Amino acid sequence: HGTIELDHRLDFETVMFRIHHQLKADKDIQFDYDLFEAYISILPASWMTIDIGKKHVNWGMGSLFLPTDALNPRNIDTTDARQDIGFPGIILTIMPNENFSVISALSFENSLDNFESEYWKDFRYGLLLSAFFGNLQIKTSLIYEPDTVFRPGLAVSFDVEGFIFYSEAAVD
């Protein structure tokens, strides 16, 4: 049995393509294929990025448990690499300077399986604001899906001589 994991990236001045995937074969020559990410990044300005496709976005601050992440939540009961599989959607990142950023996301993962007249009800919307104030970082977020999810969140981290203390919370 074996595993092949590939990460392809093709960069141009204002456009970038990325595909990250994995193929596993067991001893019976049964194959398992995972597509982690496949997206195009468009950079219309130095302070703006538009990502279209399947992308993983770190929505919270934690490394294992991310209560604010309802866009592509991790399963903390497994160490399977598939927990980092992205969501299909559109992501707009605005970063006017190195201390402030705004990320808005539209996930249409649920609507792909159920494309009806009110397909927009299965969209999942996200908004994340992040700001640095010296050694302090504050993130506030909101994930919303009509009739299903309303999750505001707050995360704070503080760097003390190279040790980073962080806390993150969300209401569901």
Q: Give me the amino acid identity at 64.
A: L
Confidence at 132, pLDDT banded by 50, 70, 90:
very high
For the chain, what percent of residues have pLDDT higher than 70?
80
Q: What is the DSSP string of 45-99?
A: ETTEEEEEEEE----SS-SS--TT--SS---TT---GGGG--EEEEEEEEEEETT
Tell if the pTM clears 0.75, that is, is over it: yes
Residue labelled with tokens 């993150």 = 168
Please give the Cα distance from 154 to 137 (Å, whole number). Answer: 11
Q: Which tens digits make up the pLDDT trace of 93-115?
A: 999 999 999 999 998 876 556 65
With cut-offs at 50, 70 and 90, classify the pLDDT of residue 130.
very high
List the single range of 18-32, 73-87, 125-139 with lowest mean pLDDT.
Answer: 73-87
